[in-house]
Structure 1
Amino acid sequence: MAMTMSCGDTTVHPEVDRILSLFQVSKEQLHLVMHRLREEMERGLSRNTYQEASVRMLPTFIRSLPAGKVNGSFLALDLGGTNFRVLLVRFGSACEDAEHMVSESYRIPHKLMQASGQQLFDYIVDCIIKFLSNRNIKEPPPLGFTFSFPYQQTGLDQGILLNWTKGFDIPDCVGKDVVQLLREAIQRRQCALQEFDLDVAVIINDTVGTLMSCAYEDPKCEIGLIVGTGTNMCYMEQMRNIDKLDGDDGFMCINADWGAFGDSARRPLQDIKNEFDELADKRSQHPGQQTFEKMISGLLLGTIVQHILLKLKEKGVIFSGIKQHRLDHHGLFETKYLSVIESDTDDLLNVKSILEKFDLSSGIEDRRLVQKVCEAVTQRAARLCAAGLATVLEKMREAQQQDHMMTVGVEGSLYRLHPHFSRILEDTVKDLAPQCQVSFRHSKDGSGRGAAVVAAMNRC
């Protein structure tokens, strides 16, 4: 085994230095990412190149932000992962309580994530009916549908599924209008049980919902950002810059769908991707897809850390003498562990407890090294995300030809729960886009509430 030596709070070893250096991205590299992302965004907006662009820049057909207060009651369906929610949101008038919201979460059985579209949407409608019945709602209000998967929007209430992510794999839905699939499931239930009808008014994704939810409270909010299990961004673009659409007046909300940045033949992230990204990608649900997302979001960060620790153990750097363990069980090292590990101090007893889940006994130097690995992976993720956000901020600042304060509405477990991610992200954005005056606003249940806001806007 190679000789090691103590240096400060962890062990220095050539393999440790080599691996940690793979996750260090310089300011110059981040500026290069910004340049390449900007090029791909322009390709996504052009009528000549949008079909081959990895950053799809999808129109949402939402032409404005919520101005003033909206009134009335609206349902929202939030489908974006293994759990989905049904919400009832009431927006009050000036003389009433501003807002009231109730919701219920339902888990999608794993078998339905890889079943048929009919089975999935029938189950969803059954849950909606259960929600309404439990609250004795006889005449349901209009429904806003948050669908947090890549889709091509062709109208406010039309969305063609492009591909599944987040562990879903239901081929017979791809290429179809998911709103129509939901309506057909409603119709099947209505015919079978004489149930009331449901009006699906709009479809949005969670990123747009985050923007609209924050803009409802802050008119300076023109960007929505999600950093959780997945990542995405949307913003208000001037119509004259959306070459693939007719019309030059006003604005439209663009869903960038930036998770696939890096997927194109030009491979714009190849000089930043490393061997551990490749290992995690090969074992993922959709290898070769969603390159940017896999380097940033909670989807694979835990898996990347797991592969690093396995390599360090193979090299004899860590967990010396342990032969039987569970660290090589794919997918067991969850991203939520990074938050706990990076929050730990002193004797790192929480790190010790997590490692014991994998049958790994650890000394203090082992635990410090595990913490250092997690910090390196998290820091790269936050800085890459910041480069993406800085690209959009600079684009908007240039288009407006003046400096003004912009608010970014943010949602997602990684941003909200990780002890350092949000700080690194925000500090890096200000470093990369110093001329942009930017503040960050955490969304109040944007993925659900935002759908109700857009449904209300559509009824005004």
Structure 2
Amino acid sequence: MANAAAIRNQIDEVLSSYKLSNEQLEYVRDQMTQNLFNGLHGKKSSLKMLPSFVRGIPNGKECGDFLALDLGGTNFRVLRVKLPEKSDDRVEVDSQVYMVPETTMRSTGEELFDHIAECIEDFLTRHNLADASLPLGFTFSFPCVQNGLDNSFLLRWTKGFNATGVVGKDLAGLLHEALERRKLQSHLTYSVKVKAVINDTVGTMMTCAYTDHDCTIGMIVGTGSNACYMESEADIKTLKKEQRLAGNGRMCINTEWGGFGENGSLESIRTDCDRAVDKESINPGCMIFEKMISGMYMGEVVRYLLLNLVRQAGLFGGVATDILKTKGKFLTAFVTQIEADRSHQLKACSQILDCLGYANTTLEERSVVREACVNVSTRAANLCASGVAALVLRSRDIETKLPALGSGDASRFRITVGVDGTVYKKHPRFRFLLSDKVSELCPNCDVTFRQSSDGSGKGAALVTAVACRLGENIEADFTTEDGG
């Protein structure tokens, strides 16, 4: 018994660094808040705080036909989104998935955008829109800087793309030029105007805001992680004079919170496993927050944690198999499967461990593996909650200056967070842990989480619809246009 107790103590000690107190989470929340402030004011910050030039959320008055383009990998989609005159009616969405050949991904920018234009034309023809005039929202999931809603410039390619002549260029301009070249070849009469270029986080917020006007925060927790929120335009000090509008309005800020902690603000809670994952990644020292919460890294953090339990607590008799020692062999999907399994013998865990070279494991060993998964995923949800709490409290501060979307109860602040991503959707406990912890970190706030449906597609169309509603010269106050 003494030996068993000693082993248990060693296991608890290894796992203890993943159990964050509310005091630690409040520290993370406050550090996030400080970085939000610094980024808005052009000071040194690990948050990029990029203006999106999205100046309003849907108010139910948007209607009509819109095109949307969702490009972020080898598959991309073209969508037609039909918004009804009454927001209670069903939004109609037609979509078509197209492939981007690898040769096109690595060719010239002209060839890439010609391919996109060809696919848009094919979609329009298929849906009897060959002579239509339609505004288009472009979800472009690559690092960009924006100078306007339809004025976005590629900073660098990722995800295997490397088309030449695109970095530093106006994406809407490249697409317009390609569409004009295509029309000359086909002799069709359609007219497509790019009205907005956004990322998927903004699209998530806009999709949820269409039916819930309290939604002014968007968040992705999937392979990667990011968040956006509606900020007071007057407090975005990085905006140039010519980019500002008269009046006290709001603008959506893309925080790029995956990079939070790159300035060392999370060092007090990072573990040896976090540092090992970071060191072995393709971008050491970058995306520190994302590496602690997102699906791309969660399984790898668990793998390193299991190796520590083998070495320090004698898990599996102190033996680490070659498979367990191999990078990427413990998938984030394993975390979800293990935690979702409620069988007495933890059969899913047994099958996964068998694939990792551990046959005939004991129930006690499988229980420790499950504990490791629970600790890592719980920490991820709690850290995510700290980030959300910072945005909620910032939003509450904004509302004291720009009354809008109020609940009618002065003692409590009401807000909705639109969420998308595989971790949030598929992990059996993540959403509940997140909601509960946000409630603890945001006293006197009613925070609702709403799962997005096709934020990267429908959201781009909604951004375009709002832009069309507000017009090019937006004179109306955000609080008037979108107050609920």
TM over 0.5: yes
Q: 1:308 to 1:194 in 2, by over 3 A?
A: farther
Asked whether the equivalents of residues 13 and 317 of structure 1 are also in contact (C-alpha less than 8 Å), the reply is no
For the residue of structure 2 that corresponds to 1:300, the secondary structure is: helix
1:146 and 2:147 correspond: no
The one of 410, 413, 417 aligned to 1:404: 413
For 1:221 and 1:90, the matched residues in 2 are separated by 21
Distance verdict in 2 for CA 1:387–1:192, change over 3 Å: same
Contact 2:310–2:318 (CA under 8 A) maintained in structure 1: no
Q: Secondary structure at the match of 1:69?
A: coil
Change (3 A) 1:276 1:102: same
Q: What is the deviation of 1:322?
A: 6.5
Q: Report the counterpart of residue 349 of structure 1 in structure 2.
A: 347
Task: State the 1:197 CA deviation.
Answer: 5.4
Query: Which amino acid in the other structure matches residue 351 of structure 2?
Result: S
5+ long unaligned stretches in structure 1: none
CA distance in 2 between partners of 1:87 and 1:451 (Å): 10
Q: What CA distance in whole angstroms lies between the structure 2 residues aligned with 1:221 and 1:231?
A: 18
Q: CA–CA distance in 2 between the matches of 1:119 and 1:330?
A: 36
> What residue is the counterpart of 1:259 in the other structure?
258
Partners of 2:437 and 2:91 lie apart in 1 by 35
Deviation per CA, 1:18-74: give whole Å up to 9, x if none: 33122121111111112211111111111x42xx43212111112221112322111
> Could you report, residue by residue, the CA deviation over 1:336-361 in whole angstroms, capped at 9, with x for unpaired residues?
22111111121111122223333332
Q: Which moved more, 1:109-118 or 1:322-331?
A: 109-118
**Partner residue of 1:72 out of 61, 64, 74:** 64
Q: In the alignment, is residue 179 of structure 1 matched against residue 168 of structure 2?
A: no
> The residue matched to 2:295 in structure 1 has which SS?
coil
TM-score, normalized by length of structure 1? 0.88
Note if contact 2:259-2:287 (Cα within 8 Å) is conserved in structure 1: yes
Flag the 1:307–1:192 CA change in 2: closer, same or farther, 3 A.
farther
2:51 maps to amino acid: P
Q: CA deviation at 1:144?
A: 0.7
Q: How does 1:270-309 map to 2 (within 5 A)?
A: 270-309=267-306
Task: Determine if contact 1:165/1:286 at 8 Å carries over to the other structure.
Answer: no
The corresponding residue for 1:393 is 392
Choose which of 318, 324, 329 in structure 1 pairs with 2:326: 329
Q: Call closer, same or farther: CA 1:275–1:116 in 2, change over 3 Å.
A: farther
Say how many residue pairs are matched.
449
Please list the CA deviations of residues 142-173 of structure 1 after superposition, one character each: whole Å capped at 9, or x if unmatched.
22111233322111111123345567677864
Q: Distance in 1 between matches of 2:312 and 2:15?
A: 15
* Partner Cα distance (1:349, 1:67) in 2: 49
Partner deviation per Cα, 1:180-201 (whole Å, 9 max, x = no partner): 3434444554456556554222
Q: Is the 8 A contact 2:60 2:86 kept in 1?
A: no
Of 434, 440, 447, 1:431 maps to 440
Aligned match for 1:220, one of 214, 221, 230: 214
1:63-122 per-position Cα deviation (integer Å, ceiling 9, x unaligned): 221112322111111233554322221112249953211223345566766666556545
Question: TM-score, structure 2 length as denominator?
Answer: 0.84
Letter paired with 1:85:
R
> Which secondary structure does the structure 2 equivalent of 1:367 belong to?
helix
Within the candidate set 19, 24, 33, 2:19 is matched to 24
Question: For the residues of structure 2 that align with 1:169 and 1:200, how far apart are their CA atoms?
Answer: 23
Point out the more displaced range, 142-151 or 410-419.
142-151
C-alpha deviations, 1:383-431, integer Å up to 9, x for none? 1110011011111212323533111111111111110111111111110
Q: AA paired with 1:76?
A: A
1:395 counterpart letter in structure 2: R
> Which residue of the partner structure matches residue 461 of structure 2?
452
Distance 1:360 1:178 in 2: 51
Match of 1:39 in 2: 34
What letter corresponds to residue 331 of structure 1 in structure 2?
Answer: G
d(CA) in 1 for partners of 2:9, 2:158: 38
Q: Are residue 158 (structure 1) and residue 151 (structure 2) matched? A: yes
Aligned partners of 2:88 and 2:73: how far apart in 1? 34
| CA distance in structure 2 between the partners assigned to 1:151 and 1:95 by the alignment | 32
The letter for the 2-side match of 1:412 is: G
Are the equivalent residues in 1 in contact too, given 2:217–2:230 (CA < 8 A)?
yes
Deviates most, 292-301 or 185-194: 185-194
Residue 205 of structure 1 deviates from its aligned partner by 1.1
Q: SS at 1:199's partner residue?
A: strand
Specify the alignment match of 1:199 in structure 2.
193
Match of 1:230 in 2: 224
Q: Which stretch has the larger CA shift, 326-335 or 216-225?
A: 326-335
| Aligned counterpart, 2:248 | 249
Cα pair 1:167 1:285 within 8 Å, conserved: no
Q: 2:232, 2:248 within 8 Å by CA — same for their partners in 1?
A: yes
Query: Are 2:223 and 2:295, in contact at CA under 8 Å, matched by a contact in 1?
Result: yes
CA distance 1:351–1:164, shift in 2 (3 Å): farther
User: Would you say the 8 A contact 2:225–2:290 is kept in 1?
Assistant: yes
SS at match of 1:34: helix
Do residues 368 (structure 1) and 367 (structure 2) align? Answer: yes
Q: Distance in 2 between matches of 1:172 and 1:4?
A: 65
Query: How far apart, CA to CA, are the structure 1 residues paired with 2:300 and 2:105?
Result: 21
Larger displacement relative to structure 2 (134-143 or 301-310): 134-143
8 Å CA contact 2:139, 2:456 repeated in 1 = yes
Q: Cα 1:335–1:105, aligned 2, differ >3 Å: closer, same or farther?
A: farther
User: What does residue 8 of structure 2 align with?
Assistant: 12
The residue matched to 1:424 in structure 2 has which SS? Answer: helix
Structure 2 counterpart of 1:88, one-letter code = R
The CA distance in 1 between the partners of 2:74 and 2:365, in whole Å, is 34
